[in-house]
Amino acid sequence: MPTESVFNYDSTKHNVFKVNGTLFQSCTFPPANEALDTGKDIIQLKTEGRKWYVCGVADHCSARQMKLVITVLGNGAPAPSPTSSAYSTVSSMFGVVVAATVAITTIFV
């Protein structure tokens, strides 16, 4: 069963890019026309695996750590334990400020 994640943020100050793991680590972004920028973007999480998202405005990704990785697990898969560099608390992605270097959200599909 597909699940979704909603990114709520001030669209005049932020945006969201879906990136791969390499771009996530380096805070590198796809072309500007690939940005999600409505302020209430709904992401369909239909497949298992890691999904990486970053804010592409100014230095928000690199300096403010406005980045998120979501791990989507299949039915019956055990939830991963957070590592020392990750936190399990995720609030409204860019509207409040994600206080973690990387936030991990586990979604079961």
**Could you tell me where the DSSP H helices lie in 17-107?**
21-26
- Kindly report the average pLDDT of the chain as a whole number: 78
* Burial call 30-54: b when 16+ CB within 10 Å, e when fewer: eeeeebbeebebebebeeeeebbbb
The CATH label, of 2.60.410.10, 2.70.98.10, 1.10.3660.10, 2.60.40.420, for the domain at 3-108 is 2.60.40.420
The confidence score (pLDDT) of residue 74 equals 83
Q: 7-45, pLDDT tens digit by residue? A: 999 999 999 999 999 999 999 999 999 999 999 999 999
**Mean pLDDT over residues 57-78, rounded?**
89
Contact 80, 104 (CB under 8 A): yes
pTM, 2 dp: 0.71
Instruction: Report domain extents, the chain.
Output: 3-108
Cα separation, 83 vs 16, whole angstroms:
24
Closest CA to 107 of 53, 39, 46: 46
- Between these two residues, 94 and 67, which has the higher pLDDT value? 67
Strands (DSSP E) contained in 46-83 are 49-54, 67-73
How many whole angstroms from its chain centre is CA 70?
A: 6
